Structure 1
């Protein structure tokens, strides 16, 4: 019996008579997948789960921290849970309102709603000397005030699902008070500065001189919304660049011939194939992808991205989060885009947002983060060799609105400081639990470079439950799914979506191999070739990890044969050739060569495996 299994079983026997078989959870999308795992027929461990949710309704960030015209940048194929899918004819990318409706339908379908205690705020979690955890909470009164009566729950297990995007992160910006000084502005507009969580509609942007701090997906959305709202000036500030791709690939022209999808544009996250995918993040892959981007769009910085490029040693999937909010790029590209007519004829990416009336001549100015503001409210940009820094060095930029699109931070002030509780950074076992403290899990606290958090949370929940049941194969292999970061990086919890998903699936015996697909197939043998093709050419859909293993679902084969197969066929012959077959053959060859070389060196005694 491994130590994780022993720890969980010992706690279960010791406290079964005194504690609820429960794990209080704070509702986010991550919770829903975890809660689903404890419903029949998946529930095979004596939990009695209870959910504590501070808000008045479900939805978390997707309901309470959203804004006008916001849509998911991850496709429905990769965002929906494994056994509750949307219709084939539903648009690939949902609005946030649609996604919250989907979550409500999910709760209703699986009978989750009855276990959720809304308007319940956790104020303290402490260790019980007798074992387990004491969760103290208050509830909201009809008046809207938090009650003063403190209630408690004794819990053997706790899953924290508060999410990555809750508490705004606002960096210090010297001189920001001068921007807010009304005397520095002659337009009559009241100056202001706020975090992007406070932005709700275009009306807040019309007629303003706007500086947006941050070029993540929210910053890009705000730049586009400001241009469409009729802002007087938009300056978008980037610390160290970004890697831009559209959330859905559109049409290309090669030597004047158009290549279009048969049905619609194809979501970028569903183009990534499974077989040999973990080799795709290798620098060799980045070299190939950069040249392909140059051929198709004229630039190696990103897809039709002419400025804001990352540092050379960070330009690639192994290092960054792909920015899939692409609508502002034509506005940003205008001062920089330059390509000969011959190259443009040879190959051209057709961006549907190139012509965006009104303000078709409007420019979103890219700039570095300002070092400070002068007493007259003018921004000072640090000197740099970046193209945008050189262009903006002598510009007189005096915003009357500063928006911090600078992300969020995580706090766990409710965890008792004397309890020795871990944080997500301490979760050394697959980023879910800390070794020796497996009764506390962090679900949904990793961010994929390409992909979506909800299906990752689902796999994390499967992993944690298997861990508590002693069903995880040990010892665990060394992880190779983290994105590469510098020591000074602000975000250190990035993972490669496919590598992380497949790692968790292998840990719990849910990764379907070809032999398993042959002998364990639920349907007729003629479909086996199709299933193998799907698992190779499809992205890391969680549904694939429910074909076999402890969480196998009778719905998985049908989903893979319909919706997921449809996603593959929509790429068309050329798309599957360029994005599927050629990369797989190439990287399988690279892997085979590297493995063979390593074995030869090992046999020669030059290296050790």
Structure 2
């Protein structure tokens, strides 16, 4: 098929690659002069949403890399420039640039009887071309959400985080920061270090997760067994996604019994091995963020000390006022702003903004403060989640199949990359969506006959688990569960029979740190032994809690599941 891809950022690049793997003809339109999307920085990027100067990833490169080009440098947090370099390597390794038309802005996508006509403009010259299918990969970071109630009468400077590059313009000024996302946490820290005064205004608390703990990345604790326990056994909410056992109760019982047996055996073997032949503790000179390993840190310039932990624990209790142990809102995998609050450099106000008058802002707790500038870390709207005849109902990607496939166009239209895991990376989600789409274009997978029913069931499940982040319709509670369901349809999920007959692989996949290479062991365009080697490069630690109690809990009814397990 001849397929149009719109956008050559991380999601567009992998879409091109997966389509080419299936032998399709691909034309990609990219408005910039190079690849990278928000990661591309240039002299003319003022007014565009871009990654800021000192940005560090909030998850390690192991989870931000694609499964067809794994990162072999361990679990480290890359800078903006380093991640852009990885994207360049990916594009060059697979010859993707020759399929991209740079400097082209797509102006319309029109549906024909059996095709799509894509209109684009470059330097005032308009072109039209016909395609069999189209994938929109331009990302959700388009329209900054700047309509914040109560700030209509503020006369100082208002800047959205999309325009933030560094803290220089805020040095010595009185700054109010509204909202807290992952990038917002870094912005709060940077501005708090240089401003005359800095206030952080929030209406609710986002669950905080340090980037580092014990000189290791916290995303090493992203484990299948735990995600299944959290999203299957913490509630009676019907589970919507297929896993290794599909929808067979018998297969599920066999799998979880194997998990209990293998987990217990692995725990005992590990304990005996460690007693007989203790392994010396690894001594690192630097932590995953490139900081000295001593003293231990939780994040950028964030000491692993009791004062910082006290604030994090208090914050997280407030993020889930019902006391539930399973998170039901988007994570903030960045606590670098915490020391600023502890030290009093950053004032926290959680009562909301009532109104403004000139340079004064009135808060819900009756306090008033004067500010020179306001920085909005308030995310983006979905009003531009449409182009021409490609419209997403209510601007809500949950009305699409698996967040990406349009149900009304016979599998010929996709919105790839409009998904945000609570904890995990968008690129691997986009890659798996693109693999499904490429297989669909090849006729190797089929759209479910009951697609509307499936969409409705999964939408209801996601809305339950994202109840505390209702505005973020792109959010998914578990990257692992979502990707496994996609992988099962693609044919790249390791078969249950193979896992049950291979205890080493079972333990690695079920109890080991999540690694996208698990989706390249079998199935289309697999990497076979190379994928296994990458998977085994991070041996499973002796996790007594996860290797025994977790599968046991999953065999019990949710009524006896502990509510406060975390």
Q: TM-score scaled to structure 1, two decimals?
A: 0.71
The CA deviation at 1:71 is 0.8
The CA deviation at 1:297 is 6.1
User: Equivalent residues in 2 for 1:93-492 (5 A)?
Assistant: 93-128=77-112, 130-140=113-123, 147=124, 149-177=125-153, 179-180=154-155, 191-228=156-193, 230-250=194-214, 265-275=215-225, 277-281=227-231, 284=234, 303-306=312-315, 309-313=318-322, 317-334=326-343, 362-375=345-358, 377-383=359-365, 393-394=366-367, 396-412=368-384, 415-416=387-388, 425=397, 427-437=399-409, 438-468=411-441, 469-472=443-446, 474=448, 478-479=457-458, 484-486=465-467, 489-492=470-473
Secondary structure of 1:55 counterpart: coil
2:22 corresponds, among 28, 37, 43, to 43
The CA deviation at 1:225 is 0.2
Q: How many angstroms apart in 2 are the aligned matches of 1:596 and 1:175? A: 46
Gaps of 5+ in 2: 42-49, 236-304, 561-566
Distance 1:382 1:215, change over 3 A: same
Q: How many angstroms apart in 1 are the aligned matches of 2:463 and 2:27? A: 32
User: Equivalent residues in 2 for 1:45-64 (5 A)?
Assistant: 47-64=24-41
Q: Is residue 243–residue 302 contact of structure 1 (8 Å, CA) maintained in 2?
A: no
Distance 1:204 1:565, change over 3 A: farther
Q: Is residue 23–residue 158 contact of structure 1 (8 Å, CA) maintained in 2?
A: yes
Q: How many angstroms apart in 2 are the aligned matches of 1:269 and 1:488? A: 21
Q: How many angstroms apart in 1 are the aligned matches of 2:482 and 2:121? A: 37
The CA deviation at 1:326 is 1.0
Bigger mean CA deviation after superposition, 469-478 or 454-463: 469-478
Q: Is residue 168–residue 197 contact of structure 1 (8 Å, CA) maintained in 2?
A: yes
Alpha carbon RMSD of aligned pairs, Å? 3.1
Secondary structure of 2:370 counterpart: coil
The CA deviation at 1:585 is 2.9
| Higher RCO, Cα 8 Å, sep 6+ | 2
**Does the alignment pair 1:92 with 2:76?**
yes
Q: Is residue 224–residue 328 contact of structure 1 (8 Å, CA) maintained in 2?
A: yes
Q: Is residue 159–residue 376 contact of structure 2 (8 Å, CA) maintained in 1?
A: yes
Secondary structure of 1:510 counterpart: coil
**Does the alignment pair 1:502 with 2:467?**
no
Secondary structure of 2:81 counterpart: helix
Q: Is residue 68–residue 202 contact of structure 1 (8 Å, CA) maintained in 2?
A: no
The CA deviation at 1:529 is 4.5
Q: How many angstroms apart in 2 are the aligned matches of 1:307 and 1:79? A: 25
Bigger mean CA deviation after superposition, 203-212 or 315-324: 315-324
Q: How many angstroms apart in 1 are the aligned matches of 2:79 and 2:218? A: 17
Q: How many angstroms apart in 2 are the aligned matches of 1:271 and 1:503? A: 21
Which residue in 2 is equivalent to 1:83? 68
Distance 1:506 1:584, change over 3 A: farther
Distance 1:370 1:282, change over 3 A: farther
Q: How many angstroms apart in 1 are the aligned matches of 2:139 and 2:94? A: 22
Distance 1:241 1:247, change over 3 A: same
Deviation per CA, 1:356-383: give whole Å up to 9, x if none. Answer: xxxxx634434333111135x3221124
Q: Is residue 235–residue 367 contact of structure 1 (8 Å, CA) maintained in 2?
A: no
Q: Is residue 168–residue 408 contact of structure 1 (8 Å, CA) maintained in 2?
A: yes
**Does the alignment pair 1:565 with 2:536?**
yes
Distance 1:30 1:232, change over 3 A: same
Q: Is residue 149–residue 355 contact of structure 2 (8 Å, CA) maintained in 1?
A: yes
Which residue in 2 is equivalent to 1:607? none
Distance 1:136 1:314, change over 3 A: farther
Distance 1:321 1:306, change over 3 A: closer
Q: Is residue 398–residue 473 contact of structure 2 (8 Å, CA) maintained in 1?
A: no
Which residue in 2 is equivalent to 1:3? none
Deviation per CA, 1:259-289: give whole Å up to 9, x if none. Answer: xxxxxx222222121235222246849xxxx
Count of residues in correspondence between the two structures? 473
Bigger mean CA deviation after superposition, 486-495 or 453-462: 486-495
Which residue in 2 is equivalent to 1:535? 509
Q: TM-score scaled to structure 2, two decimals?
A: 0.76
Compare the two structures and name the one with the higher strand fraction: 2
